[in-house]
Amino acid sequence: MREVAVVGIGETKFGSLPDRSLRDLVNEAGNKAIIDSGLPKEKIQALYVGNFNSSYLCGQSHMGALVSEELSLGNIPTLRVENACVSGGLAFRMGMMMVAAGVYDYVLVGGVEKMTHRETEVVTSALASAADSEFETTLGATFPSLFAMIANRYMYEFKSPREHLAMVAVQNHDNALLNPDAQMHKKITVEKALTGFPVASPFTLYDCSLITDGAVFAVITTSEIAKSLNQKRPLVEVVGSGHAGDSIQLALKKSLTTFSATVDAAKQAYDMARLSPEDIDFAEVHDCFTITQIINTEDLGFFEKGLGGKAVEQGLTSIEGKLPINPSGGLKAKGHPIGATGLSQIYEVTLQLRGEAGERQLKNVEIGLAHNIGGTAASCSVHILRRR
């Protein structure tokens, strides 16, 4: 297997972008990534695009061909990757594996979603298709209600106070204030998070991620080629990658407070990188709901089971903390354009490792992790990147 590096990144601003089409988002983020790489478009040999549901939300399938056409990439092989909210993370993994295996030398990977132009009911219906239709959503379950059950079980098992969920929201909102591309630039307090509009007990509006438009792309190649490009910045290598799954139905999971897909994908990534959780300097973690950040940081091995919320309370996961989590603002405040979310995490990790994250730049970071799940953690990808 060849060593793989990220040599170009680009993203749009996240948010409600009524004047931007699916093509506009692709054009901006894709061209930014290619320009950032310093490579001519003619070098790109393949394209993998994470996209969850443009077929339903935008009436547009066959996204690989559309993206290639919009970016003028010629007649290269393209593929749309769909696996719910982990679509972007798996598009990245597929491109990385193709480079590592020697199939291609230069691959463009990306993710895009256009959501906010549709009514909330339509978007909710689209999102619900990532759960089990026969046994969950047709019976009235939604993702807020499913993850609310997880939150209630977690608080019962570990005697974790409701305030810990609110503290996750506060921290990620604070981080997003430092990110010009974030959707939500709004400082909140624990009290405000606790007393927000009720969604599904114990969740209020502030426990839930956002409906978002956005696109993110990255150019990947071999580390050997990357070194020859003489880029005047640190080399960012992909040193670990993992992909695992679990039941789509919440009722069939062995535990509601441990996501086995995360545990398994993380083990694969750690083993490949020959690293442990203690070696990770910071992480972008999937926080579709505040409870998921807490559980995911435990399943990734950062904190003991039941103590993820306590870590937030103690400031360990803040930008100034021992293990910063979601310096971008996370899905909670940066935004969650489903197909682009996994690439958004890769973007932030790469930016931090380059030392180009501006006001939110972390100090002395060398190794970052990106964690992306789909559905009720039925699918998961984990990537570990390292500055050389």
Active centre residues (catalytic):
85, 336
Burial track 153-183 (b if 16+ CB lie within 10 A, e otherwise): ebbeebebebebbbbbbbbbbbbbbbbebbb
**Alpha-carbon distances of 376 from 143, 294, 330, rounded to whole Å:** 8, 14, 17
**Alpha-carbon distances of 287 from 223, 230, 346, rounded to whole Å:** 31, 36, 15
- CA–CA dist 76, 44 (Å, integer): 8
Locate tokens 């996501």: which residue?
A: 259
CB atoms within 10 A of CB 187: 11
- CA–CA dist 305, 157 (Å, integer): 10
- According to DSSP, residue 256 is labeled S
> How close are the terminal C-alpha atoms of the chain, in Å?
18
CB atoms within 10 A of CB 54: 24
Say what angle helices 63-70 and 22-37 make with each other, to 10 degrees. Answer: 60
50 beta partners: 81, 111
- CA–CA dist 192, 140 (Å, integer): 28
The number of residues in the chain equals 388
CB atoms within 10 A of CB 227: 14
